[in-house]
Amino acid sequence: MATGLQAPAGELAERAPALGEILASLRFEDPPPLRRFDDSAEHAFGGYAPQDWAVQAYLQRTPTRERIPLPVLSAADPAGELNLQMPLSYEQYSERPIFGGSRLMRFVPYPGVAAYLRHIAAGPLSSERPGVRVGEVVAEPEFAAIERAQSTPGIPTQVESASIVLSYDQGGVPYREAVTATLVRLMTMGSWTARIAARRRAPAHRYSEADTIFCGILQSITPDPEWARNEQARASQVLGQAMGRHAQAQNDYLNAVRHLGQVRRDGAVSLADGARRHLDNFFREQELHVMPTLRGDQIMINPADGRRYEVPLAYGTYWSDAVQRVYRTTDPYSPPVTGASRLESI
């Protein structure tokens, strides 16, 4: 190790003894003993935390068709003062108005990560932490780089990560918390997602010390190589299907608009039954082919009798019994009632 002293030339001789005492006080400590933690759901990722910390880690997927994997982590010191979380958080929005509306994706123009953080700080975070004082927004290029590295190659993507610093009192003790958000914008899809990537909390006087440990835990997290390869292949397939559905929905919508224009022109000429029938067919086509997609629903078919069912796009397996009642279960193999048939996507 090389050391040195620096001071204005005229003050160096006077300040050297104090600077030397500071250097002499430097001591190296053994690193804290660590233990490994692993995802308890799919064994998709793992990392390291101090041995005496309580850690929970698992993977949970969104209930959407894409089944996006979301790592969830909670780590706390024995006293419960230092706390790191990767919460279950995922929001998806469209940058373009959605014809007919959707329960799963709302139209919200892309705000940028700083505006998004200020919005949640003024809303849910303020409700959660009464008396919170909102500080500055700090860029987090490391989080953005991790997210960017996991993006599907060939898809134009904009990634932003930043943290907003919160201060508040808890039990008479001043606390400091950094809330990190990551926004991913899919340029060709006209959509964007947001999630809380991490929350780091500690008493204000210990935050600098604690953040070193927090960052060490986060940087130690790595995906399982085999799981990552399989998930990358699955994600590429799902994204391709989603882009195909997106393109088809756009084509259906444009055709429907052209169709509606023709119907209106026909209606201006005559209000005969033929024109009314044409309009009815148009709305039926909208309902059968466009609206379920835009509402976030899916069309499924019963292979036993060929009947079609429109059901919410949610996690689980759908079944239909002999009198056409529909059930949803988390078990893909056991029918909920005797004789029920499993529905298949089309």
**Same domain? 187 vs 265:** no
Residues 197 and 325 in one domain: no
Residue 6 has pLDDT above 60, yes or no: yes
Single out the residue in 223, 254, 270 at which a domain terminates: 223
At 142, which CATH number? 3.40.1000.10
Same domain (yes/no): 35, 82:
yes
Residues 236 and 143 in one domain: no
Q: Provide CB contacts within 8 A for 52, sequence distance 6+.
A: 77, 78
Instruction: List strands edge to edge, sheet with 297-301.
Output: 308-312, 297-301, 344-345
pLDDT of residue 79: 93
Residue 19 lies in a domain: no
Three-state DSSP class for residue 26: coil
pLDDT at 286: 57
**SS3 assignment, position 218:** helix
- Would the pLDDT of 260 be above 80? no
- Residue 55 structure tokens: 């850690």
pLDDT for the residue 4: 81
pLDDT of residue 102: 46
Once rounded to an integer, what is the mean pLDDT over residues 314-337? 85
Please tell me whether residues 96 and 196 are part of one structural domain. Answer: yes
Residues 274, 183: one domain?
no
- Per the structure, the complete domain to which residue 215 belongs is given by 30-223
The model's confidence at residue 262, banded by pLDDT at 50, 70 and 90, is low
Report d(CA 78, CA 74) in Å as an integer: 13
Query: How do residues 282-320 score in pLDDT, each as one tens digit?
Result: 566 556 655 566 666 777 888 888 888 888 877 788 889
Q: Residues 214, 242: one domain?
A: no
Number of domains in the chain: 3
**C-alpha span between 345 and 243 (Å, rounded):** 17
Backbone φ, ψ for residue 36 (5° rounding) = -85, 145
Highest mean pLDDT among 59-68, 140-149, 194-203, 314-323: 194-203
- On whether the CB atoms of residues 163 and 179 are closer than 8 A, the answer is yes
Q: What is the DSSP string of 81-130?
A: -SEEEE----EEEESSPPTT--SS-EE-----HHHHHHHHHHTHHHHHST
| Alpha carbon distances (Å) from 8 to 4, 13, 14, 15, 311 | 14, 10, 10, 9, 76
State whether 143 and 44 are in the same domain: yes
pLDDT band for position 279 (cuts 50, 70, 90): low
Q: Does 327 reside within a domain?
A: yes
**What is the average pLDDT across 57-78?**
86
pLDDT surpassing 60 at residue 281: yes
The reply to whether 3 falls in a domain is no
Q: Helix axis angle, 273-285 relative to 225-269, nearest 10°?
A: 170
- Residue 153: CA count within 13 A, CB half-sphere: 2
Looking at the structure, tell me whether residues 238 and 179 fall in a common domain: no
Choose one of 203, 223, 243: the last residue of a domain. Answer: 223
- Residue 20 belongs to a domain: no
Q: Which of 223, 244, 260 is the last residue of a domain?
A: 223
Whether residue 94 is predicted with pLDDT greater than 90 in this model: the reply is no
Angle at 42 between CA 40 and CA 46, to 5 degrees: 60
How do residues 131-147 score in pLDDT, each as one tens digit? 899 999 999 998 888 88
- Give domain status of residue 61, yes or no: yes
User: At residue 243, does pLDDT exceed 90?
Assistant: no
Residues 302 and 210 in one domain: no
Give the whole-angstrom CA distance, residue 202 versus residue 208.
9
**Looking at the predicted structure, is the pLDDT value of residue 236 above 70?**
no
b/e 299-310 (16+ beta carbons within 10 angstroms → b): ebebeeeeeeee
Separation between Cα atoms, residue 62 and residue 242, nearest integer Å: 15
Q: Is it the case that residue 263 has pLDDT exceeding 90?
A: no
Same domain, 132 and 50: yes
Q: 48-52, 195-199, 303-307: which has the minimum mean pLDDT?
A: 303-307
**Rg from Cα positions in the chain:** 28
State the average pLDDT for the chain. 82
- In a domain, residue 11? The reply is no
Q: Are residues 57 and 85 in the same domain?
A: yes
pLDDT at 164 over 90: yes
Tell me whether residue 178 is in a domain: yes
Q: What is the pLDDT of residue 128?
A: 87
Q: How far is 342 from 335, CA to CA, in rounded Å?
A: 7
Q: Which of 217, 214, 127, 142 is nearest to 177 (CA)?
A: 214
Alpha helix (H) ranges present in 189-224?
A: 207-220
Residue 4 domain-assigned (yes or no): no
